Amino acid sequence: MLTQADVHWIELDSVDSTNDYLTRAYQQSRVSGCVAVLAHAQTAGRGRSGRSWQSAPGASLCLSLGMPLAGYQLPFLPLCVGVAVAQVLEMLNLPVRLKWPNDLLIDDQKLGGVLCESFQTDGGPVTVMGVGLNLLPMNVPDALSGQGATSLAASLPEGATPSALTLAQSIIPSVLNLINQAQQQGVAAVFNLFTQRDAWLGREVQVLDQGEVCYMGKAMGINEHGAYLVNTTGGLRALNAGDLSLRVNA
């Protein structure tokens, strides 16, 4: 069972991408075990589908956690990390909701996201979990633009926005705790926690592939395999990959 005491911390003023930095460090055998990287600025970060996530100093939380874990050992890690981050933000009385599979929302506006990547090293498999949160309303990353982006500063009273370091120090133990819980109790425990925060549950949604609408229907939540269920005119469909969004003019 991993705890915060097992985590080696690295804090950087600026980096291209916290995920990429950690990936290189593991592959070059410069780090091992459980490692967290916090950067105060990011010049070439990535969101889902390769979207850019650049961040000016202090504008975003740019955090990655690496651990010796193969992706198949916990295949629904983005849901696990998303729930863990949401639990931390709920301590700030923020009404955070989760959009399958890896986005964090407030009032249907995107606050941040999760990007998990697995790879092989000489020392064995490693998975890196990246967390990005918009702290300030300025300099919104491309990964959030055009999607009704928001920020912690826009959702909290003036002066109440925590620093990136404070958030990171709360998020890492929350993620480790939920991973331990999933490994001990099974992913059903995580699925239940996700369902309680499911932003689209019961709403009319559309499924997109490279920007094209594939089908539309009512969001029914995730099943026991972690796939997202959509009730369409042609019946119930299980979505394993793709973009899920609210139906336009629904």
Predicted local distance difference test score (pLDDT) of residue 211: 78
b/e per residue, 30-45, with b = 16+ CB within 10 A? ebeebbbbbbbbbeeb
Predicted local distance difference test score (pLDDT) of residue 145: 47
Question: Nearest-CA neighbor of 153 among 101, 94, 113?
Answer: 94
CATH of domain 4-195: 3.30.930.10
User: Would you list the domain boundaries of the chain?
Assistant: 4-195, 204-246
Question: Nearest-CA neighbor of 231 among 243, 215, 245?
Answer: 215
195, 102 contact by CB (below 8 A) = no
Full-model pTM: 0.90
Query: Could you tell me the two tokens for 208?
Result: 């997109």
Query: Could you tell me the two tokens for 218?
Result: 């009512």
Predicted local distance difference test score (pLDDT) of residue 186: 86
Predicted local distance difference test score (pLDDT) of residue 144: 47
Round to whole Å and give the CA distance between 178 and 190: 8
- 105-128 pLDDT, tens digit per residue, is 999 999 999 999 999 999 999 999
Question: Nearest-CA neighbor of 42 among 142, 146, 110, 124?
Answer: 142
Predicted local distance difference test score (pLDDT) of residue 209: 83
Parts of the chain with a pLDDT under 70:
45-55, 138-147, 248-250
Look at domain 204-246 and name its CATH class: mainly beta
Question: Nearest-CA neighbor of 130 among 118, 146, 116?
Answer: 116
Round to whole Å and give the CA distance between 53 and 44: 7
The answer to whether domain 4-195 and domain 204-246 are alike in fold is no
